[in-house]
């Protein structure tokens, strides 16, 4: 399928540009800001980055067959060739976003926008698995920042019916700006928690930042979906989205029917359809609920939704299950974590229906962006673990050591390790077909190395536990 394309006249009108060097060529082309993937017939937009500037690549873009180049008006074009077609704009970054907004208007898909302290990527992936059963869907594999969202819109196929976008956020104003570009039909806030406490300072401020998503939703026809009824979130939403249609997750309306090592089967009040998802624990069921009610709002029936949800497969670092060479079971939650998501992952891991292994080991890395409260939050997590039954708690890195300090009278062994190699050394004697390891935390790079190490340990290296 073809991406959205623009003629020279459309670019000039959208960006208030002018022709600097011509003549303009006939035809329409997609917008591309990366010389490495520029195709013949695309428009090249000269975007700056930390270490490069597209204005240095104008001649190459022309040689690659670009219809023309969009440049900052008033600069010297030393790297353009004599036959380069140049359209001048006040700012190529601004033009990039204006063209992205135009692409959104041209395609006019239904838009599901997702944010939250945790569960964003999982909800996005579940939505994609479900909605793509009935509609042509466009989404991204990673959460976009501002320029990334523009790239998502400009790479959207012209026949896209549903756009699913995950919106990350560090500070105030970011999600509001992104939401204004997207104008979501369905806004999903999975939850709010202590993530970003370092930058935002309080749960009330975190709720305010997440609720910026609602500012781009039409109250008369849009839908707000909340996977969390946390007080700060509900109070903020009631002001920002007053009068709009809202759905709020209530765990009393969801029931686990069966839990196996591979899947969870559950039911929802008011539906005679059983849903099955390759995940465990209330956190993932909440994400599934957000995806289900979003799909319902698009007109999908529960039977089709349930069939689509079966196709969800957890990606690396988000609850995927790995059998290592030693036959150890590894639950990989290494992508990112918040205090609440760690609790949910641990609870699911300790459920013997989901993880029927006799020996269980928790490996926890530090949780990031908690600011001055970090030590106390990590210690509180240790206190919460104290009465749980498992074999050993191993922490990775200095920040996570506070988890061990918070443990009181735990029945499990504790180890404090500085890096992945130390953790592997501790665990090596215990890894066999009877053991399971949960790896969770925010230090993805270090924990990713650990998961690879545990996966590759050969049975010959192991001792009998």
**The pLDDT of residue 141 is above 80:** no
What's the CATH number for 8-98? Answer: 3.40.1390.10
Average pLDDT over residues 433-456: 88
pLDDT in tens, 228-243: 999 999 999 999 999 8
Q: Is residue 262 very low, low, confident or very high in pLDDT (cuts 50, 70, 90)?
A: very high
Which strand (E) or helix (H) includes residue 110?
strand 110-115
Task: Give, as one character, the DSSP assignment of residue 42.
Answer: P
pLDDT of residue 75: 87
Question: Tokens representing 404?
Answer: 């061990």
Every domain of the chain and the residues it spans: 8-98, 109-309, 320-461
pLDDT of residue 336: 81
Classified as helix, coil or strand, 370 is: coil
Contact yes or no for 343/381 (Cβ under 8 A): yes
Q: Which of 98, 107, 65, 111 is nearest to 84 (CA)?
A: 65
Q: Which residue has the higher pLDDT, 79 or 259?
A: 259
In 200-287, beta strands by DSSP E:
223-226, 245-248, 254-259, 264-268, 274-277
CATH class of 109-309: alpha beta
> To the nearest whole number, what is the mean pLDDT of the chain?
91
Q: In what order do the strands lie in the sheet with 392-396?
A: 320-323, 329-333, 435-440, 359-365, 392-396, 413-417
pLDDT in tens, 277-304: 999 999 999 999 999 999 999 999 999 9
Peptide bond preceding 23 in cis form (omega within 30 of 0): yes
Q: Is residue 460 very low, low, confident or very high in pLDDT (cuts 50, 70, 90)?
A: very low
pLDDT of residue 145: 60
Q: In what order do the strands lie in the sheet with 162-166?
A: 137-139, 162-166, 110-115, 186-189, 223-226, 245-248
Q: 124-128, 135-139, 377-381, 441-445: lowest mean pLDDT where?
A: 441-445
Average pLDDT over residues 78-93: 91
How many of the other CB atoms lie within 10 Å of CB of 142?
Answer: 11
CATH topology of domain 320-461: 3.90.190
Question: Per the confidence metrics, is the pTM higher than 0.75?
Answer: yes
Q: Which of 38, 103, 118, 101 is nearest to 70 (CA)?
A: 38
Percent above pLDDT 90 for the chain: 72
Parallel, antiparallel, or unpaired: how do β-strands 18-21 and 86-89 relate?
antiparallel
Q: Which residue has the higher pLDDT, 170 or 25?
A: 25
Q: Is residue 464 very low, low, confident or very high in pLDDT (cuts 50, 70, 90)?
A: very low
pLDDT in tens, 158-188: 999 999 999 877 778 889 988 998 999 999 9
Average pLDDT over residues 264-276: 96
Q: How many residues can be counted in the chain?
A: 465
Cα–Cα distance for residue pair 38/33, rounded to 1 Å = 8
Q: Which long-range contacts (CB under 8 A, 24 or more apart) does 35-38 make?
A: 35/60, 35/61, 35/64, 38/64, 38/66
Average pLDDT over residues 88-109: 95
Question: Tokens representing 179?
Answer: 């939401």
pLDDT in tens, 301-357: 999 999 999 999 998 888 999 998 889 999 999 888 888 899 999 999 999 999 999
pLDDT of residue 1: 57
């Amino acid at each position: 399928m073809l991406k959205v394309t623009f003629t020279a006249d459309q670019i000039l009108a959208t960006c208030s540009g002018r022709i600097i060097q011509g003549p303009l060529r006939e035809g329409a082309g997609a917008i591309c800001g990366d010389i490495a993937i520029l195709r013949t017939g695309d428009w090249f937009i000269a975007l700056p980055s930390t270490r490069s500037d597209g204005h240095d690549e104008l001649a190459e873009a022309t040689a690659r067959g670009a219809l023309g180049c969009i440049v900052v008006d008033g600069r010297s074009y030393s790297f353009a060739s004599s036959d380069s077609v140049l359209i001048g704009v006040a700012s190529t970054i601004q033009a990039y976003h204006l063209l992205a907004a135009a692409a959104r208007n041209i395609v006019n898909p239904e838009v599901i926008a997702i944010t939250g302290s945790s569960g964003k990527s999982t909800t996005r992936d579940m939505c994609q698995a479900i909605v793509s059963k009935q509609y042509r869907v466009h989404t991204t594999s990673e959460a976009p920042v501002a320029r990334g969202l523009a790239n998502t819109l400009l790479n959207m196929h012209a026949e896209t019916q549903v756009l699913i976008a995950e919106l990350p956020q560090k500070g105030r104003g970011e999600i509001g700006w992104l939401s204004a570009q997207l104008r979501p039909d369905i806004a999903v806030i999975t939850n709010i928690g202590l993530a970003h406490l370092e930058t935002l300072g309080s749960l009330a401020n975190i709720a305010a930042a997440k609720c910026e998503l609602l500012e781009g939703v039409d109250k008369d026809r849009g839908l707000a979906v909340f996977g969390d009824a946390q007080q700060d979130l509900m109070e903020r939403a009631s002001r920002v989205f007053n009068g709009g249609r809202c759905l709020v997750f209530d765990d009393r309306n969801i029931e686990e029917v069966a839990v196996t090592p591979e899947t969870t089967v559950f039911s929802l009040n008011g539906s005679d359809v059983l849903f099955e998802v390759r995940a465990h624990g209330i956190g993932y069921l909440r994400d599934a609920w957000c995806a289900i009610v979003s799909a319902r709002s698009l007109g999908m029936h529960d039977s089709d939704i349930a069939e689509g949800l079966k196709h969800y497969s957890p990606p690396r670092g988000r609850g995927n299950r790995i059998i290592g060479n030693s036959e150890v079971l590894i639950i990989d939650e290494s992508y990112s974590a918040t205090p609440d998501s760690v609790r949910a992952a641990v609870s699911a891991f300790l459920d013997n229906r989901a993880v029927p292994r006799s020996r269980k080991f928790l490996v926890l890395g530090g949780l990031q962006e908690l600011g001055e409260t970090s030590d106390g939050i990590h210690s509180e997590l240790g206190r919460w673990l104290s009465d749980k039954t498992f074999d050993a708690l191993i922490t990775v890195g200095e920040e996570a050591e506070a988890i061990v300090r918070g443990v009181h009278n735990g029945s499990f062994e504790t180890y404090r390790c500085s890096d992945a190699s130390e953790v592997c050394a501790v665990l090596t004697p215990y890894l066999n077909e009877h053991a399971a390891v949960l790896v969770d935390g925010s230090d993805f790079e270090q924990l990713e190395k650990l998961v690879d190490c545990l996966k590759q340990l050969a049975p010959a290296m192991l001792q009998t536990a």
